[in-house]
């Protein structure tokens, strides 16, 4: 699908991987809607791109439905969905303070896994009714997992489970939506220069980067955005999870 002129939704688009993807899509002529709980930042980035920024909790059915309706009313029918919204915690299953709090585990799954599926289902329900484009295609969905889905480290029980769920549903959802001409892929990034890592001292960032076989550095958000755009543009990519990690395999800690 050529992104030019198409309406693209980017969740978690006010910073990091999402912001880079929103900028990449806008650079290719897409009309971008940025959804984020950080409303002011979402609106600021969207204003720079000529799009719209909306407050949205992806794990809430009501919030996501309202955002979808506003996007359709202000920008038009969306054809592209990039799911970048997510949270992470570092906590062992059992620590000196006791068992992992169940509410925190549930929260990570609600945002990262259920929130991703929530956006997929609402987007697909709308897009399946649109007129097909070249090759019968109606829409494209790109999800964000993590290498933690495969190489979860100590303290990543919740995060790895949530991202493993995103990987696990990629193929069945792609198969579900194939009849409607909607493609589904997932990107599993490694260690990237996101706002969370950018807050670390440069020495610590360099040390993390040196763990990557090649290139021996942190990934740049623009590299994620470039792959997301390529998935949108390459019609044969469907039902696949792509590791974007410089060949890193994470150690236990």
Query: In terms of DSSP bridges, do strands 241-244 and 182-189 run parallel, antiparallel, or are they unpaired?
Result: parallel
Helix, strand and coil percent figures for the chain, each rounded to 5:
45, 20, 35
Residues for the chain: how many in total?
Answer: 253
What is the longest distance spanned by two Cα atoms in the chain? 58
C-alpha span between 193 and 220 (Å, rounded): 6
Q: What DSSP designation does 211 have? A: T
Residue 182: which residues within 8 A CB-CB, separation 6 or more?
A: 124, 127, 128, 137, 138, 139, 140, 141
The residue from 105, 150, 159, 224 that is catalytic is 159
Residue 149: which residues within 8 A CB-CB, separation 6 or more?
A: 160, 163, 164, 166, 167, 188, 241
- Is residue 105 annotated as a catalytic residue, yes or no? no
Do 27 and 51 contact (CB within 8 A), yes or no? no
Other C-beta atoms closer than 10 Å to the C-beta of 31 total 22
Q: Which of 142, 137, 141 is nearest to 179 (CA)?
A: 137
Q: Mind telling me the catalytic residues? A: 159
């Amino acid at each position: 699908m050529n992104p030019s002129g198409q309406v693209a939704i980017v969740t978690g688009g006010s910073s990091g991987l999402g912001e880079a993807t929103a900028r990449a899509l806008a650079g290719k002529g897409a009309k971008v809607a940025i959804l984020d709980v950080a409303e002011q930042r979402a609106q600021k980035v969207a204003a720079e791109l000529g799009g719209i920024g909306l407050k949205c909790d992806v794990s809430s059915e009501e919030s996501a439905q309202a955002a979808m309706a506003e996007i359709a009313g202000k920008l038009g029918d969306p054809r592209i969905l990039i799911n970048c919204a997510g949270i992470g915690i570092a906590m062992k299953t059992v620590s000196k303070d006791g068992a992992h709090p169940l509410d925190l585990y549930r929260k990570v799954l609600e945002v990262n896994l259920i929130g991703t599926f929530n956006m997929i289902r609402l987007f697909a329900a709308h897009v399946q009714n649109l007129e097909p484009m070249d090759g019968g295609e109606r829409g494209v969905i790109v999800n964000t997992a993590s290498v933690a889905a495969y190489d979860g480290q100590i303290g990543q029980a919740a995060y790895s489970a949530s991202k493993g769920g995103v990987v696990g549903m990629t193929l069945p959802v792609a198969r579900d939506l194939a009849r409607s001409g909607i493609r589904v892929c997932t990107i599993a990034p490694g260690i990237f220069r996101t706002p969370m890592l950018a807050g670390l001292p440069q020495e610590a960032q360099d040390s993390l980067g040196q763990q990557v076989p090649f290139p021996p550095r942190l990934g740049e958000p623009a590299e994620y955005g470039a792959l997301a755009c390529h998935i949108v543009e390459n019609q044969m990519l469907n039902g696949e999870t792509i590791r974007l990690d410089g060949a890193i395999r994470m150690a236990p800690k």
